[in-house]
């Protein structure tokens, strides 16, 4: 039996998850790659995303709203499948060094399923990232919402970090949720409970997706 894996500090986790811009880069992937064969009109704008001060009954507290900084990459990347895109990007801190990152956009999305898939594909092909667990679709009980979840690994000077994330897409909103703790950051990617993260993701979606007006 080898020596136990060293736990990463909260600062290290934040630097890897936020500093690498894995999720923001993933959101831009659909535009960069292009989506062929998309037809039909754009849906009506009825919902938006917000970046609240806390999430999940105050278990996670907002550290930084990045919508007007890193989020500008989302808004400024041309994408013929999305109109009127606006970013919603936030970094949250929870107990036991947990870091939660919300990286999303809202507008009028012509092909939500393709956008959801492209978010994860972009994150998996970001520089330094490797896809460790392929995307799986989940529809948590009672939600009626399909989310796709995967696990990537990211190499840095601190070692290899495990990064689980889930994404959704609908007519007006698309976002990815990454949740990393000191323990999960060094866990075997195959040991990550993606079904549990999918349930957390739909709960967050319900909190941040709001009617317009």
Global confidence as pTM: 0.86
Query: Looking at residue 65, which CATH number applies to its domain?
Result: 3.40.1000
- pLDDT for residue 129: 83
3 belongs to a structural domain: no
17 belongs to a structural domain: yes
175 belongs to a structural domain: yes
Answer for the pair 75, 86: CB distance below 8 angstroms, yes or no: yes
Task: Give the C-alpha separation, 61 to 80, whole Å.
Answer: 35
203 belongs to a structural domain: no
Number of domains in the chain: 1
Task: Give the C-alpha separation, 51 to 143, whole Å.
Answer: 21
200 belongs to a structural domain: no
Q: Which residue has the tokens 């999430």?
A: 55
35 belongs to a structural domain: yes
152 belongs to a structural domain: yes
- pLDDT for residue 75: 73
Phi, psi of 103 (to 5 degrees): -135, 105
195 belongs to a structural domain: no
- pLDDT for residue 17: 59
Residue ranges making up the domain that contains 139: 10-187
| Average pLDDT per 10 consecutive residues for the chain, totaling 213 residues | 50 56 53 52 95 97 89 75 89 89 91 89 81 96 94 80 92 92 89 97 97 91
- pLDDT for residue 20: 47
């Amino acid at each position: 039996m080898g020596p136990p894996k060293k736990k990463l500090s909260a600062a290290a986790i934040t630097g890897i998850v936020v500093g690498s811009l894995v999720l923001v880069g993933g959101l831009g992937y659909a535009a960069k790659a292009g989506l062929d064969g998309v037809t039909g009109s754009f849906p009506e704008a009825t919902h938006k995303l917000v970046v609240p001060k806390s999430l999940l009954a105050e278990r996670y507290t907002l550290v930084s709203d990045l919508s007007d900084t890193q989020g500008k990459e989302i808004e400024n990347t041309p994408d013929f499948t999305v109109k009127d895109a606006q970013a919603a990007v936030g970094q949250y801190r929870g107990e036991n060094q947990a870091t939660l990152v919300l990286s999303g956009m809202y507008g009028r999305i012509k092909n939500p399923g393709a956008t959801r898939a492209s978010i994860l594909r972009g994150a998996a092909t970001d520089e330094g990232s490797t896809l460790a667990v392929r995307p799986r679709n989940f529809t948590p009980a009672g939600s009626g919402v399909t989310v796709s979840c995967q696990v990537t690994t990211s190499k840095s000077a601190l070692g290899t970090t495990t990064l689980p994330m889930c994404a959704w897409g609908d007519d007006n909103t698309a976002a990815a949720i990454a949740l990393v703790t000191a323990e999960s950051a060094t866990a075997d990617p195959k040991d990550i409970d993606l079904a549990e993260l999918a349930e957390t993701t739909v709960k967050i979606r319900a909190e941040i997706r709001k009617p317009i007006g």
